[in-house]
Amino acid sequence: MKSLYRFVDYSIGLDPHAERDMEEMACTTCGDLSGCLPFGETQDWAIQHAAKTGHTGFRQVTTNYHRVVRNDRDLAPQLSVPAVFTPGQVVPPERA
């Protein structure tokens, strides 16, 4: 039995149904963490931490969630922008 493979294009973009712009700040001096906070609140945490401790170095991590969709299923418009087009990915027959 022969298998038939076809090329399918994919897009990736921000998932419109997921939490957005969750951030965490870490003090680079003592390692204290702000915990996951909504966008913008980590800077307030860093300023308060600096005022209490005198520490001035911080590392910020922003988390966003993305979703990959097959373009042949017309789902790409559901992604938040920016969507990145990735041409010619091979899809095994059982997933086509």
Does residue 96 fall inside a structural domain?
no
pLDDT at 2: 77
Q: How many domains in the chain?
A: 2
- Looking at the structure, do residues 40 and 12 belong to the same domain, yes or no? no
Would you give per-residue pLDDT tens digits along the chain (96 residues)? 677 777 777 888 888 888 777 899 999 999 999 999 887 899 999 999 999 999 999 999 988 888 888 776 656 566 655 545 555 544 444 444
Burial of 35 (0-12, 13-18, 19+ CB in 10 A): exposed
- Looking at the structure, do residues 28 and 41 belong to the same domain, yes or no? yes
- Looking at the structure, do residues 25 and 59 belong to the same domain, yes or no? yes
- Looking at the structure, do residues 57 and 29 belong to the same domain, yes or no? yes
> What is the rounded distance in angstroms from the CA atom of residue 14 to the CA atom of residue 41?
21
Other beta carbons within 10 Å of 44: 12
Residue 3: domain span: 1-18+68-91
Does residue 33 fall inside a structural domain?
yes
**pTM metric for this prediction:** 0.57
